[in-house]
Amino acid sequence: MSQKKFEEMHYLDNINLANDREASNSMKLDFARVNIFNPYDQNAYQKLYDFMRAGNPVQKEIYRVWRYGGEEFVHRNKFSLIDRKGHYRKNKFYYKHFTVHEELSPLSARAYALSRYRQRTGQFLDKADYWLPLPELIGNPEGTVRQDILLPTKTGAWLGYPCLGKNAYIEYNVKKELLVIGEYWSNQFKALTYINRSDMFDWQIEICDLHQQGRSEEANNIQLEYINSNQILTY
């Protein structure tokens, strides 16, 4: 099974979250503790449609939760209005047709990872940090996902794994249908936890320094030398 197929499999797993109210409420409480309140779930398209149908402008950026492999990760999602048709009424624009581009942030994180970031840095993760460009990280061999890959920050590093994420073009048409009319994949990183630089091994510090110097190939070679078999997921 390819990495892309693995992502598609867990992308479909989001369907389960909407039908499990207890899990959904627990998830919202976990994210509220890290200053993320009422994040959107996989029903974001329908909520976007309802929001715009009521005459509101497109919501530029939201928190959105996806479930991957039984765990919830939060992204930042940007919605850009590409075109629209409709009319104004009482200073509100009522849509007959619109097309929106949805873009997922390169970084997504578990509530646990965000909690550890808060504990170890003394601050909540800034929204802009979700959009920082990713360095070139090592890929995963067929059938495995290595979950101890380092993604450096100013004060430490995220631990998790690189993957592919699905971006979309969404259309609301004259038949009052909300459709995904185009999709493409982009590089993303799923953060499982966070560590401070002061808690790192020397080789982890070296990896972070090399990435930040733009020497990712050297950083990845070191990462390949240090393999923790307990952090390898097979599928």
pLDDT of the chain, 235 residues: tens digit per residue = 444 443 433 333 333 334 445 557 778 888 999 999 878 776 667 777 777 777 777 778 888 888 876 788 999 988 888 888 888 888 778 778 888 898 999 999 999 999 999 999 999 999 999 999 999 998 777 777 889 999 999 999 999 999 888 899 988 877 778 888 999 999 999 999 999 999 999 999 999 999 999 999 999 999 999 987 777 777 6
Q: What's residue 134's pLDDT? A: 96
Distance CA 59, CA 69 (A): 29
- Read off the amino acid at residue 79: F
Q: Which residues contact 189 (CB under 8 A, 6 or more apart)?
A: 106, 107, 108, 134, 137, 149, 151, 158, 160, 161, 162, 163
To which residue do tokens 């990183």 refer?
Answer: 189
Q: What's residue 21's pLDDT? A: 53
And the tokens for 87? 């009319």
Q: Which residues contact 50 (CB under 8 A, 6 or more apart)?
A: none
CA distances for 161 relative to 3, 62, 232, angstroms: 12, 23, 10
Q: What's residue 51's pLDDT? A: 74
Q: What's residue 43's pLDDT? A: 65
And the tokens for 33? 């503790």
Q: What's residue 193's pLDDT? A: 96
Query: Helix or strand or coil: residue 169?
Result: strand
| Burial category of 62 from C-beta neighbours within 10 Å (exposed 0-12, middle 13-18, buried 19 and up) | middle
